Structures are given as C-alpha cells and as structure tokens.
Structure 1
Amino acid sequence: MCQHDGVRVQPVTPDGAVEHVVERVLATDGTVRVLVDGHPSTGTAAFADATVAPLRAAGRPVARVAVRDFLRARSVRLESGRRDPDALLDAWIDVEALNREVLTSVVRRGRWLPGLRDPDTGRSTRAAYEDAPRGTVVVLDGTLALRRGLDVDLTVHLALTVAAETRATPLDDAWQLAAYGRYRREVQPERRADVVVRVDHPDRPALVLR
C-alpha cells in the first residue's frame, strides 16, 4: 500500500475490488441503491454483474439495471446533433425516469422497471415491473452518471488517468473526450464517489482509500 497527500492506494485483485463493494452493501440493512460509474472501457457493466451472485448468495434480492436503458428519447438527447459533448454530459440520461421507475420506486412502491427505452432504436422496451422486497439491492451501471441527481445510496467510480482514458476512446468517439474532461473538472468523480477503484491496468486494480 502506498500513501500520498492523505490518499492510500491499495492494490487488489479484480475479485477483491468487487468483494469490497459487496461488503459495503451488506453492512447496510434495507434497500440499497448502488451506482457503478466509469468510462465505457472500464467495464462498469461487468463489474456490476460481478456483484450480483455474491449479493444473492448473502440472501439479498438484486435488481440489475443499466443507465443505457433509461436514456432520454433520441429526439431530445440528439437535438444538438449526434456529437455534442455538452449534451452527452447534461442531456442524455433520463434522470427523472430512472428515479421514478427504479431508484425511488423500489423504496416507495416496492417495484422496479428493468428498462424504459431501447438505447439504439429509442422505442419502448415494454418491460414489466418486477417486485422489490425489502432488502433489495439495486445495482446500476453507467457512464458520466455521478452527481446527475440519481437517487442512490452508494457510488462506485472506476477511474482512469487522462492518458489511459484517451487511449481507450476509439477515434470515432474522440468527440466524447470533451465531455469526460468537463466531468472530471466539474464533478470530480474520484473525490465524490464512495468507492474509487483505479483500473488503468484492469488485471491489477487498486482501491483508493481516504
């Protein structure tokens, strides 16, 4: 473990990083809503998926949800064009729908909606509501999702250095780098998230402990 300016970095295995998050969840009774956030290349979906089995083994019901299934209608999020970095950061996620149909609903109404819109076609998924008994853990993954107003209890950020983020962004998606830069400056995800895992080397992640 190394320490600099009050920040300790603890190398862990990929499984160890998942176990750390699962332990944080299991330390809380009742419904817990977890957000796993990070650049698309960090594997937020895989990380979120990996928490499901151990949570269920511990007796907790799990609602696995993806932000990409709750994007705003294409006519709204692409109003400024398909390559507007400010819109990507500010206007793509349908925060109101995610809170209403999932994050707030599991607590107030005991149910949740697996998806609202197909992210590619924009059409309704016509998904049916599922029950959320007490103790349900919502595991949500997405990109640029911290501090968006999502009603969550525990936030996880899979962090990359700027250089690694740039290398991991395909040339066709280079326009998105401006959104990631704004996100880093304005949201400061490595300071805001409850759990930060550095994943510049996916096979050798490290927990950032403050």
Structure 2
Amino acid sequence: MRLEAITWDRLTDTLADRLLGLEPKDGAPWPRVAFDGAPAARPGELARRVGEALRVRGRPSLVVGTEGFLRPASLRLEYGHEDVEAYYSGWFDTGALWREVFGPLEADGTGRVLPDLWDPRADRATRTPYVQLPPGALLLLHGPLLLGHWFPFDLTVHLHLSPGALRRRTPAEEQWTLPAFERYATETDPTSAADVVIRTDDPRHPAWTG
C-alpha cells in the first residue's frame, strides 16, 4: 500500500472537497460516509473536522458516533466487562443503526435520523430528538469495526494504526479490546476494504492513500 504524507488540515479539506461530489450508489438523496477506526485512532475527531469543512462549503452533514448506539449494559456486559467476543460482535446495536440511521436514508426513506439512542453512562435512552436531513446532506458515521456489518456506505475511510501503535495509544483499561482489532484486521482487512486509508501511527504526521 503506497502512502503519502499529508497534514490534517489538507487531509480535511481534500476529503471535504471529494465528498461534495459524492453520489450515493443506490440513488438515495443522502450520501453515507464511514470513518472507521479504533478509538485510539480518533475517527470521530476527523469526522467532525470534515463536517465543519463541509459546513463552510455550504453543504449540510450529520456526524453520528456508534458510541451513541451501544446496547444496554445488561446485554453488552452479559459475559463480563472484558469479553472480547461481545465487544467484537455484540457491543454496538447494529439493528438500531439500521433502523434509525440507515433505513431513513435509503432511496425511499424520510431523511429523519436519530443521532444517538443510548447513554452508556446512565444506561438509559438518550431521548435525543430526530434530525431531518435535507436532500444532499451527508451522513458521517464514525466508530470502530464499521466495515464488517454490510452497512451501505458510499465512501469508507479507515484510520489505520499498526499493532504496536494501537497498543501504545490504547489506555490500559481498554487493552482488553486489542484482540478484537486483531480479529477485525484478519477477517475484514479494512486497509484493503476501505476506499481511503489513513495511517495515524504518529498523530502529528498522518499519511494516506490519496
């Protein structure tokens, strides 16, 4: 994989410009973009930066994080607080994401999206109001392990960390999740599956596939 060095500012602007011309693959009025990466790679930070760059360009977008669609603790932690299998395949409520985010953005959808559903700290529904997206508005969804669920993205961006960098940058209390990302790399191979790959081993100096 050939990578070229780039600054975060230039990367943000280049991605925003590319998204201005993005056409949904299924004829829907709302392009859907993934910012996939382990929490240590900070995919949400890039998604928010791109969303702001789009706003400056006059294009509306909605940034949604999968952390707002965690399953209730009784289900998420059924097999303990550090169960790798649960984190990999049952931590996030993918059914709710299909129902509340992707379904409304299909070709015959309403465009009425729920930005988040569950507050993991309070372990209860957030009661966040729905957002009505106008035609042409982009969904910028960020979170880990996104490319293994068959979500209908029109562009996928993967923020890559080498195993060593992922280990160094993951807090001690979250190190138990590392085997899930090893499995994700083997089963999904996001560096091959994604349309855009950004290496973030050094957070000050990213590199990307362009």
**What TM-score comes out, normalization by structure 2 length?**
0.91
Matched, 1:103 2:97: no
The equivalent residue for 1:11 is 5
1:124 shift after superposition: 0.5
CA contact (8 A) 1:65 1:114 kept: yes
Greater CA drift, 17-26 or 115-124: 17-26
The equivalent residue for 1:23 is 17
1:106 shift after superposition: 2.9
CA contact (8 A) 2:47 2:140 kept: yes
Number of equivalenced pairs: 203
1:20 shift after superposition: 2.8
1:207 shift after superposition: 0.7
The equivalent residue for 1:52 is 51
CA contact (8 A) 2:104 2:110 kept: yes
1:33 shift after superposition: 0.9
1:121 shift after superposition: 2.2
Computed over aligned residues only, the root mean square deviation of the Cα atoms, in angstroms, reads 1.4
The equivalent residue for 1:82 is 81
Partner Cα distance (1:57, 1:171) in 2: 38
SS where residue 196 of structure 1 aligns?
strand
SS where residue 8 of structure 1 aligns?
coil
Partner Cα distance (2:177, 2:52) in 1: 33
1:174 shift after superposition: 1.8
Output one character per residue of 1:159-196: Cα deviation in whole Å (capped at 9) or x when no partner: 01111111112222221111111111111111111110
Partner Cα distance (2:63, 2:176) in 1: 30
CA contact (8 A) 1:158 1:199 kept: yes
Task: Spell out the pairing of 1:1-210 with structure 2 (5 A cutoff).
Answer: 7-29=1-23, 30-107=29-106, 108-209=109-210
CA contact (8 A) 1:99 1:151 kept: no
Partner Cα distance (1:60, 1:31) in 2: 11
Partner Cα distance (1:155, 1:73) in 2: 27
Partner Cα distance (1:99, 1:19) in 2: 29
Gaps of 5+ in 2: 24-28
1:102 shift after superposition: 1.3
Question: Which amino acid in the other structure matches residue 25 of structure 1?
Answer: L
CA contact (8 A) 1:117 1:123 kept: yes
1:152 shift after superposition: 2.1
Partner Cα distance (1:184, 1:16) in 2: 27
The equivalent residue for 1:4 is none
1:27 shift after superposition: 1.5
Partner Cα distance (2:146, 2:20) in 1: 23
CA contact (8 A) 2:12 2:53 kept: no
Question: Which amino acid in the other structure matches residue 36 of structure 1?
Answer: F
Question: Which amino acid in the other structure matches residue 60 of structure 1?
Answer: R
1:73 shift after superposition: 1.7
